[in-house]
Chain A
Amino acid sequence: MSRQLDNDNPTIFAPTASATSKRVQQGKASLWASEALSDDEYDYDSASGSGEDREDIDSEEVYDLLRSITDPEHPVSLEALRVVNPDDIHVAGNRVLVYLTPTIPHCSMSTLIGLSLRVRLLRALPPRYRVDIRIKSGTHQSEHAVNKQLNDKERVQAALENKHLLSVVEGCLSTADKRGRT
C-alpha cells in the first residue's frame, strides 16, 4: 500500500458480545422451549401464521447489522476494533442513533466508516427509520465536521455517486452478513 496508514497498529479486541442473544424472549417463547413451540406449529388443524407476535427492531438487531463490517484500513471487523459498540446504539420509535468511536482522534477514515454504516443501514433497515450517525463525543478532533458530513443527505448522495468511493464501501460491506460469526 502506498499511503501511510492512519493507525497502523490498532488494538484488536476479542469479541465480547457473544453470538447468542441476551434478548429476553417475549410472549409464548419466554415460557416454552423452542422445541415445544415447533411441535405446536404442525398441530393438526391450527392455521399457522395468523397470530404472529411482532418482534420490534431493537438496538441489538441494529448492532448485529453493523458488527461485521470490515474496517477500511485493516481486514478486521468494526466489532473487533470497538468502533461500534452495542451500548452506543439507540433505537426509539422510528429513529436510530449510532455513535461510532474512531480508533484514534485524527482518524481520516471516520467519514468512510460512517458512510459504510449509513449505506448498510440504508439497505438493511425499513425506509420508515430515520438514521443518525455520530462520532462519539470527545473521540475525534473534527467531530462536528464529520457529523455534519455524515448526516447531510445530499453529501451522502453525492458520495455514493462516486464510483470509486462506492466500491470501497462495498468492499467494507462484503463481510457484513457474517453478523458476528467467524
Chain B
Amino acid sequence: MDVPRMVRTQISTSELNPPQDLVQGVNNGSVGLLEIVKALGEYLTSTEDEVRLNGLTFLSNTLKTVNSTKINRQATQTLTNFYLSKLDDFDSLPPALGGLTVLSKLATFDDDAAVEVYKGVVENVNMKAYVQATRHLVYVLFDSLLATHRNALKSMGSSFVNSYTKMVDGEKDPRNLMLLFSIDRVILLEFEVKDHIEDFFDITFCYFPITFRPPPNDPYGITADDLKLALRKCMASSPYFARMAIPLFLEKFATLTGPSMKDLQLSIAACLPVYGADAVRERGAELWEGIKTEILYSSDTSIEAAALSALESLIRTLYPTSTDAPSGLAQDIIKECLEILNEPDKTQAVAATKILAAIFRASPSAGKFALSQALPQLFRQFNSPSVPSHRSPILSTISSLLVAVQSVYTSPTSQRKQAEEKALDPYHGGILDVLREGLRTEGLKSPAIKGCTACVQIPGFWEREDVENVVRGLDDVLVNDEDPEIRPEVIESLTTISTHHPTTIESLTLPLLFHNLPDSAPSASDHIAREKYRSILSSLRELCVAPALFQTLVIRITTKLDLLSSSTPQSNGGDEEMGEFDTRECNIAYSWDLLNTLQNVVDKKIKEKHNDLIRYFDQIVPRLFTLVVSASTTKLGDASPLFRDRRLVGIIAKLVESLVWELNVEKQSAWFSAIYQAFEKGDWTGVVHDKSVVLSGSPLRTGASSAEQDLIALYAGTVQGLKGDATLPFGSSAEFLSSKIHWTINVARDGWQVKWILELICAFVNKRENVLKDSLETILESIWSVEIQDTSKDLDNRRRGLSVYLYIIKALSLLRSPLAYSALERVIDILSLSNLDPEFVRFAASGFGILSQGKGNGHLTAKLLFAQKLWNFVLPKLIEGDKEATGTGRLVYLVAFASLLPLVPASLCLADLNTILPLILRSLSLPDPHQRVNAITTLTSILETASDSREVDKAIHAHAEVMVDSLLKSAVRSEGVASSGKVRSIALSCLSLFPDVIRFENLHKHKSIVIRELGKTLDDPLRNVRKEAVECRAKWYRYGNAT
C-alpha cells in the first residue's frame, strides 16, 4: 500500500476522512500508525495554517476511526506529546483536542499523561477566545479524563479544582452547560471541594434560576427542563453549599414567579436533604414562610405541588426518624394549619389539609403528631359544627388525611407500615363514626366514600366487621341514591374493597343487587323501574370483573335468562295500558341488557387477561345454546318465544365468539366438532345444556324453518372464535366452504342470515388460507362465472354471490395474499359496465365498503400494512377508470372510492392529496349518505391535520369554497334527498372546523350564506344534530371578528 501517495491525495483534495483501505490496513497490521505520521510529516509542520490544519485533522480523524488496540504505548506517548505541543496553536486546537480525547480513552494512556494533558490545556487554552464548538471539545476532553483518570486528577489537589473553576467560568451555551453540569456534579461528589466551595457556588448557582428558552426549531433539542434538572442535580451535590445556597433561596422567594418559582421550590425539595438537618434548621422557619405562600395563595396547581414537595423535603430533613421529637417548626406549622381549619369553608382550608397530609407523608414522628393534633379537633368540629355547611369540608379534610395515610402505608417504596406506627389506631372509633355518619347524610357521601376506600386499603387497620359495616353503608347508597355523580364513586370504592375483601362483597353487596333485579321486565311505561335495573346492571358490570365475584354473576344471570325464557308470554289482548311496546318486547330488551352485561364483563376480563374465564365456558355457552335452540323449535301457536328474537340471537353469537376464542386448541377442536355435529348432522347433544332439547334436524337442511335457520348466527360465532390451529372435524375444508357458499347464495332467507354466514365464510377463509390455498382460486373462479357473471340469474342471488366473493377477498387481503388482488381486479373491471347492468354495478361499487371494514373488532388475522397495500392497489385503478368513463359511468367509481375510504387513515391521503382531494370533493355530492359520511370523515381529519404541511394548507385553501358549499348541502335536510342524522351532524362538525383552519379572507364572502343556511339546521328533528348546528353557527358568527 502506498501510504504517502494515499495521504497526499486525501490532503490535496481536502478529503480529511481516512480512506477505507487505510483504516483496514492499520487494523490488520499491514500499515503502521507511524508510517502515516511520517507521510503526514510535511503537512503537520507546514507554515501555512490551512495545510497544517488539514494535516492535523486527517491525523485525528484517522485515530478516531482505527481500531484503538493498534495504538501502542509508544505511539500514544509520541502522539500525546505531539498534540500537547499544538495546544497553543490557535487554529490547530480543535483537531488536537479531538486527538487527545481519543488517546485519553486508551489503556496505554497513563495517569501521568492525564495530568500532563490537563495541565497543558489549562495553561495554553484561553477559553474566551474560542467558539462554542471548540469549548465543547475542551469539556469533552475533561469529561473523558475525569472518567478514566479520576484518581490522578484527584491527587492534583486544589490546583485541579482551582484551575477547573477558572476554565469553565462564564460559559453560557446550553449545549456546553449540559455537559458542564454533569462534570460539576462528579467533581462536587468525589473531590475535596470544601475549601473551594465558594468558587463552585459561583460557577453553578450563577445560573439559577434558569430562564433559557430554546429557539424555535432548535436542532439540539435541549429544553429548559433539561437544563433545570441538570443544574438541580449539581446544586444538590454538596452539603457545603448550604451556607450560601439557603440564603440565596430565601432571597429568591420574594422575586421569582411562574415557572421560575416552581423551579425554586423543586430545587429546595432536591437540595434540603443533602444540605442536612443542622444547616436547614437554622433557617427552617424562613424557608417555611416562603413555601407556605405558594401553597396557600398560588393559583397555579403545578407550583402548589412543587411547594408541597419542598415542604415534604423540609420536614423529612428535620424529622427523619420516628424517634425525633416533633417540636419546633413542625409544631408551629401544624398549629397554623389547625387555625386555618377552624374556618373549613375557606379555600385556604383545602391548602391546610394538603400541608397536613404532606407532613404525614414526610415524617413518621411529625406525621403522627399532626394526626394526633388534627383528628380530635376535626371530629369535634364535625360533630358540633358552628354552621351545618361546614361538615362537608371537614369530612373532606379527614378523608384527605386518611388517603395520605393510606398512600404511605401501601406504597411499595415506603418502609413505613401501619403495623409498626399505628398512627391511626387511637382514632379508630372516631373515624368509623364520622365515615358512617357521612355515608348516611346527603352532601357528605362523596368525601365519606373516599375516606372509606382509603381505610379499607390500609393493611391491618380495619377488622372484618368494620369493613362489613361500611360496605352495608355503601350498598345502601348504591341502591337508594339516585344521584348520578355519587354512584360511580360507590362502585369504584366497592371494586377496590372487593380486591381486599372479596367475600364481604360477595355475601353483602351482590345478593342485595341481584335481589333488586326484577324477574321479568317492567312495563314499557315504567321508566323508573327500568332506570333502576339498568343502574344495578351497570354496577354489576364494574364489580363482577373480579374473579371472586364473577361466578355469582354467571349463575344469577343465566338463571334470570332461564326464568325469562320460560315465562309464558301473556296474552296481548288485555285491557291494561301497554305503552308503545308489548310485554314481549320489554322482556327482550331486558334480556338483551342482561346479556350485554355479561358480554361487557367478559370483554373486560379478556382485556385484563383473567385466566378463570375458560372455566366458565361450560357454564355459559351450552346454557345459552339451550335457550336459543329450544326457542327455535317450540311451536307455541301464535306467540313467538323470547329467544327467537334476532337481537338476542345476535348478542349471544357475539358472546360465543369471545368465549370460544379464549379456549385452548384442544377444547376448541372438541367444541367445534360438537357444533359441526349439530349443524350438519342434526345431533345437538354435544352443545346444549338441557339434553331434552332436540331439533328435528340440521338447521342447514332445505326446508328448515326461518327460526331454525337463524341459528346460523351461533355457527358463525363459533367459527369466528376458532383459531387457525384447531383441528377440524371434516376432511375437506374446500367442501365445507363450498357448501356454506351454496347456502349463502341459494338457501339463506334474508339479509340477516346472509350477514352471519358471510362472517363465517370470511373468518374461515382468513384462518384456513394455508389449507384452502389451492382450491380457493377455483372456488372464486366458479363463484364468478356461475353466480355473478350470469346475468340471467336473479339479481338478489347475484348480489349475494358478489358479497361472498368480496368477503373472501377481504379475508385474503388481510393476509396480503396475492390471490386477493387478482380476484379484485375483476370487480374493478365490471365497474365499467354500468350502462349494461346498472343495478348490479351500483351494488358492486358500494360493495367496496366490505373491504374497507378491515380487521374490525373480531378475531381475524391481519398482517401489517395490509390496508396500505390494498389501497395502493385499488386506488390507481379507480382513478384510471374514473378518467376513462364518461357521464354517469364515472359515478360508480366515485361510489367505490368513497366506500373504500374508511380503510386507510387520513395521513395516507395527505401524502397524495392533490389526486385524492378532488375525488373526496366530488364524493361529497354522492346520493348515499353512508358514502358521504366516509368522505366527510376523511375530510375532517385532513382539515384537523392541515396546519402541519404547507402543501396541504395550500390545497385546502384553494378548495375551501367548494367544500363549504358541499358540506352545507349535506348538513341541511331537503326534500327528496336521502340523508341521515349521522351525515348531517358530521357535516356540521366538519363545517365548524373551517373558522379555525381556513383564513378568513378566503371565505369572507361565504360567511353570511353559511350563517343563513345553518339557520335551517337549527330546526333539525334530531337533538344531536341541532347541538352541532348551534356550535357550528356560533363559530361562524365569530369567524373573522377581530379578537
CB pair A53 B485 closer than 8 Å? no
Chain A residues with CB under 8 A of B1021? 52-55
Total count of chain A residues near the partner, CB < 8 A: 38
Chain A residues with CB under 8 A of B752? 43-44
CB pair A49 B980 closer than 8 Å? yes
Query: Looking across the interface, which residue of chain B has its beta carbon closest to that of A47?
Result: B978
CB distance from B90 to the nearest CB of A (A): 62
CB distance from A29 to the nearest CB of B (A): 11
Q: Contacts A20-B484, A49-B929, A49-B978; is A61 near B1026 (CB within 8 Å)?
A: yes
CB pair B1026 A33 closer than 8 Å? no
Of A31, A35, A125, A127, the most chain B CB neighbours within 10 A belong to A31
B527 contacts partner chain A, Cβ-Cβ < 8 Å: yes
Chain B residues with CB under 8 A of A13? none
Give Cα distance in the complex from A139 to B771, angstroms.
Answer: 82
Chain A residues with CB under 8 A of B1015? 126-127
Chain B residues 117-155 with CB under 8 Å of chain A are none
Query: Looking across the interface, which residue of chain A has its beta carbon closest to that of B758?
Result: A44
Give Cα distance in the complex from A43 to B750, angstroms.
Answer: 12
A124 contacts partner chain B, Cβ-Cβ < 8 Å: yes
CB distance from A57 to the nearest CB of B (A): 7
B669 contacts partner chain A, Cβ-Cβ < 8 Å: no
Q: Which secondary structure characterizes the binding site on chain A?
A: loop
CB pair B593 A30 closer than 8 Å? no
Give Cα distance in the complex from A61 to B1030, angstroms.
Answer: 11
CB pair B978 A124 closer than 8 Å? no
CB pair A123 B650 closer than 8 Å? no
Stretch of B558-566, B579-587, B807-815, B833-841 contacting A (4+ beta carbons < 8 Å): B579-587
Query: Looking across the interface, which residue of chain A has its beta carbon closest to that of B930?
Result: A48
CB distance from A161 to the nearest CB of B (A): 15
CB pair B1018 A125 closer than 8 Å? yes
Of B593, B1016, B1018, B1038, the most chain A CB neighbours within 10 A belong to B1018
Chain B residues with CB under 8 A of A24? 527
Instruction: Tell which of A30, A36, A176, A179 touches B527, judged by Cβ atoms closer than 8 Å.
Output: A30
A170 contacts partner chain B, Cβ-Cβ < 8 Å: yes
A174 contacts partner chain B, Cβ-Cβ < 8 Å: yes
CB pair B524 A31 closer than 8 Å? yes
Contact with B along A20-40 (1 / 0, CB 8 A): 100010010011110110010
CB pair B1037 A123 closer than 8 Å? yes
CB pair A32 B592 closer than 8 Å? yes
Q: Contacts A44-B751, A44-B755, A49-B979; is A33 near B1022 (CB within 8 Å)?
A: no
Instruction: Tell which of B485, B581, B978 touches A18, judged by Cβ atoms closer than 8 Å.
Output: B485
Chain A residues with CB under 8 A of B1037? 123, 170
Contact with B along A133-177 (1 / 0, CB 8 A): 000000000000000000000000000000000010010011011
Q: Contacts A36-B647, A44-B752, A49-B929; is A124 near B1034 (CB within 8 Å)?
A: yes
B1019 contacts partner chain A, Cβ-Cβ < 8 Å: yes
B354 contacts partner chain A, Cβ-Cβ < 8 Å: no
CB distance from B838 to the nearest CB of A (A): 19
Query: Looking across the interface, which residue of chain A has its beta carbon closest to that of B803?
Result: A44
Instruction: Tell which of B589, B979, B1023, B1031 touches A55, judged by Cβ atoms closer than 8 Å.
Output: B1023
Give Cα distance in the complex from A29 to B476, angstroms.
Answer: 29
Instruction: Tell which of A18, A45, A55, A65 touches B484, judged by Cβ atoms closer than 8 Å.
Output: A18
Chain A residues with CB under 8 A of B978? 47, 49
Give Cα distance in the complex from A32 to B1016, angstroms.
Answer: 30
Chain B residues with CB under 8 A of A124? 1018, 1030, 1033-1034
Chain B residues with CB under 8 A of A123? 1030, 1033-1034, 1037
A3 contacts partner chain B, Cβ-Cβ < 8 Å: no
CB pair B1041 A57 closer than 8 Å? no
Q: Contacts A49-B979, A65-B1030, A124-B1030; is A31 near B586 (CB within 8 Å)?
A: yes
CB pair B1038 A27 closer than 8 Å? no
Give Cα distance in the complex from A24 to B485, angstroms.
Answer: 18
Chain B residues with CB under 8 A of A176? 1034
Q: Contacts A61-B1023, A125-B1018, A170-B1041; is A31 near B581 (CB within 8 Å)?
A: yes
Chain B residues with CB under 8 A of A125? 1018
CB pair A36 B596 closer than 8 Å? yes
Chain B residues with CB under 8 A of A179? 1027
CB distance from B756 to the nearest CB of A (A): 10
CB pair A49 B484 closer than 8 Å? no
Instruction: Tell which of A31, A47, A49, A65 touches B589, judged by Cβ atoms closer than 8 Å.
Output: A31
B754 contacts partner chain A, Cβ-Cβ < 8 Å: yes
B233 contacts partner chain A, Cβ-Cβ < 8 Å: no
Chain A residues with CB under 8 A of B983? 49
Contact with A along B1024-1043 (1 / 0, CB 8 A): 00110011011001100100
CB pair B980 A48 closer than 8 Å? yes
CB distance from B530 to the nearest CB of A (A): 8
Contact with A along B579-607 (1 / 0, CB 8 A): 01100011001001100100000000000
Give Cα distance in the complex from A65 to B1027, angstroms.
Answer: 9
Query: Looking across the interface, which residue of chain B has its beta carbon closest to that of A46?
Result: B751
CB pair A174 B1038 closer than 8 Å? yes
Chain B residues with CB under 8 A of A20? 484
CB pair B580 A52 closer than 8 Å? no
CB pair A30 B524 closer than 8 Å? yes
Chain B residues 215-245 with CB under 8 Å of chain A are none
CB pair A49 B981 closer than 8 Å? yes
Instruction: Tell which of A32, A39, A177 touches B1031, judged by Cβ atoms closer than 8 Å.
Output: A177
Q: Contacts A123-B1034, A124-B1030; is A32 near B1022 (CB within 8 Å)?
A: no
Chain A residues with CB under 8 A of B1023? 55, 61
Chain B residues with CB under 8 A of A128? 1019
Give Cα distance in the complex from A43 to B753, angstroms.
Answer: 11
**Interchain Cβ contacts under 8 Å between A and B, 29 examples:** A18-B484, A18-B485, A20-B484, A30-B530, A30-B580, A31-B524, A31-B530, A31-B580, A32-B589, A32-B592, A33-B534, A33-B596, A36-B592, A36-B647, A39-B647, A41-B982, A44-B752, A44-B754, A44-B755, A48-B982, A49-B929, A49-B981, A54-B1021, A123-B1033, A125-B1018, A126-B1015, A167-B1041, A170-B1041, A177-B1034
9 smallest CB-CB distances across A and B, nearest first, come from: A49-B980, A126-B1019, A44-B751, A54-B1021, A45-B751, A124-B1030, A55-B1023, A44-B755, A126-B1018
With A18-B485, A44-B751, A55-B1021 known, 4 other A-B pairs at CB within 8 A are: A30-B527, A30-B530, A31-B585, A176-B1034
Binding site for B on A (CB under 8 A): 18, 20, 24, 27, 30-33, 35-36, 39, 41, 43-45, 47-49, 52-55, 57, 61, 65, 123-128, 167, 170, 173-174, 176-177, 179
